[in-house]
Structures are given as C-alpha cells and as structure tokens.
Amino acid sequence: MTAAGDVAPTEDVTNEAAESDAAASSERLWEIDALRGVAIIMMVIYHFTYDLDQFGSFDIGANTGNWQRFANLTAFMFVSLVGVSLVLSYTRATARLADEWSLAQKYLLRGVRIFGYGMLITVAVWLFAPGGSIIFGILHLIGLSIIFAYPFLRWPKAALPVGAGLIVLGIFMGYPRVDFPWLVWLGFRPEGIGSMYDYRPMIPWFGVALLGISAGYLLYRNGIRRFRFPDWSHLGPVRWLSTTGRYSLAIYLIHQPVILVVLELTGVIDLGMF
C-alpha cells in the first residue's frame, strides 16, 4: 500500500518532466536555423551569378545545367524547411491556442502575409525589369503552402503520400501550355506569357513542403529532437549561420536590390541606375 507521502515525489517528477518537454519544444532548434542559413547563402550566390549572366557580359548559363540544378536544390532546401518549421510552429501554437479557429487563423494570416511579400516583388519586377516577370515565385509558393498545409499539420500521416504524389505528378506533367492564365499557380503556363523568373508552382513544389512536414513529425515530434546529434551551436560559423537563418525572409527581400546596386556602382554591370 502506498503512503500519501510517497505520491508527491512521483507527481513532482511527472510535472518536472512535462515542464521540461514544454520548455524544450519552445526552444529554437539551431540546426534548422543553420540549414536555413546555408540555403539563404546558396540563394545569394545563385542570384549574384544570375545577375552577372543576365545583366553583365558574362556567359555563365545561370538558367541551364548545373547552375539550374543548384537553384532547384536551394529552393528544395527552403521549401522543405518551411514544412519542418510548420511542424515546430504548430506544436508551440497548440500549447497556447485552445480553439481550432484561432489555430487556422494563425496560419491563414501568416500565409497571406508571405504571399503579400511575393506580390510586392511581382510589382517591383514589373516596374523595374519589364523584360520578364515573377508571377508565382518562391514567396508566393511559401505563402499558399502555409495556408494549404494546415490540414496536414492536423493529420500528418497524409503528408508523405500526398507530397510524393504531387512531386511525381509534377515530374510527369511538366509545365503544360494552356490558353488561360488562371492556373499558372498550379503549374499550367499560359501561351505567350514570356519569361517568368523564379517560377515555383504548387505542382510539384507544394509536395516538397509536405515532405518537410512528414520529416518534421518524424524527427521533431512534439517539437522535441528525436535523434542524437552533437551540439555545434557554440561554434562561430554555426552561430553565424543560425543567425542568418533567423533573418532569411528579410535577407530574401533586400538581397537582390543590394546585389544590383553594388554591381552597378562597381561598374560590373550597367543598368543605367546612376
């Protein structure tokens, strides 16, 4: 028979364990930030190369071959990390928000905000680079993915088969030409649309976000790391990458104008900006 005095230590241990799990799930995971930092650096490198190829006298072929593969790998890292980050965010949000509508509204508003940033870039390119357009780039993709991913955060077992199916469909479908513009966001390219920069339609790229959700639940269920991993967060380069990853959106929004201005000021390209 257990005495009443023997119960309290057990309850204390249980409470401490629960509090420890809650605290762990609310901490930033340095490896996710660092990977996002790697992706943002890869993006800056690619766009620097693209600008030299597009606006300078450098025949690099940034839209072909290994450079195109490099761009696709960068996008794959970004979008899959969006899925992983959504899992971590959802874990924390469910601990704070009780009702379903508050949770859904959180991701709806976040997705609309990111999509809005994408539309600002669309307008900026239309004004300053009339030779091409960004109709549905990576920020448009991420914005809609955050909104459409919400059901898969509640039922994560569906993320892997649906994500894999979208990727396979995208591979076999390609980007078919159509006579109407309304499904350009899905991957159907209108005839005569011209050059579209940074085109990342939902098929197949939303599938990559869903793979990230599946990986997030496998590796970080309940927001806690489920695997052993050496702690490199104290290393200088890793700290720098993690900090860079935390500000990836801001860097994405400003990096291209900065690159173009620097290249113009140094005389590497001539856009007639100054």
pLDDT in tens, 99-129: 788 888 999 999 999 999 999 999 988 887 7
- pLDDT top residue among 131 and 220: 220
Taking alpha carbons only, the member of 72, 220, 221, 212 closest to residue 149 is: 212
Q: Is residue 42 part of a domain?
A: no
| 8: confidence class by pLDDT, cuts 50, 70, 90 | very low
pLDDT in tens, 162-172: 999 999 999 99
Q: Is residue 209 part of a domain?
A: yes
Q: Is residue 182 part of a domain?
A: yes
Taking alpha carbons only, the member of 180, 186, 216 closest to residue 204 is: 186
- pLDDT at site 210: 98
pLDDT in tens, 200-250: 999 999 999 999 999 999 999 888 888 888 999 999 999 999 999 999 999
Q: Is residue 257 part of a domain?
A: no
Q: Is residue 262 part of a domain?
A: no
Tell me the residue type at 93: A
Maximum C-alpha span of the chain: 87
Q: Is residue 81 part of a domain?
A: no
Q: State pTM to two decimals.
A: 0.86
Counted domains in the chain: 1
Which residue reads 């990111």 in tokens? 114
Work out the mean pLDDT of the chain and round it to a whole number.
86
Taking alpha carbons only, the member of 49, 115, 50 closest to residue 82 is: 115
Strands (DSSP E) contained in 85-162 are none
Confirm if 93 and 75 have CB atoms less than 8 A apart: no
Confirm if 153 and 216 have CB atoms less than 8 A apart: no
User: What range does the domain containing 181 cover?
Assistant: 112-224
- Please count the other Cβ atoms lying within 10 Å of the Cβ belonging to residue 247: 13
- pLDDT at site 26: 53
Q: Is residue 250 part of a domain?
A: no
Confirm if 37 and 248 have CB atoms less than 8 A apart: yes
Which residue reads 């990342």 in tokens? 200
- pLDDT at site 13: 32
**What Cα–Cα distance (Å) separates residue 273 from each residue in 49, 121, 261, 262?**
19, 18, 8, 11
DSSP 148-177: HTHHHHHSGGGHHHHHHHHHHHHHHH---E
- pLDDT at site 45: 96
Residue 272 pLDDT greater than 80, yes or no: no
Q: Is residue 252 part of a domain?
A: no
| 259: confidence class by pLDDT, cuts 50, 70, 90 | very high
3-state secondary structure of 104: helix
| CB-based burial label for 144 (10 Å; 0-12, 13-18, 19+) | buried
pLDDT in tens, 18-50: 333 444 445 789 999 999 999 999 999 999 999
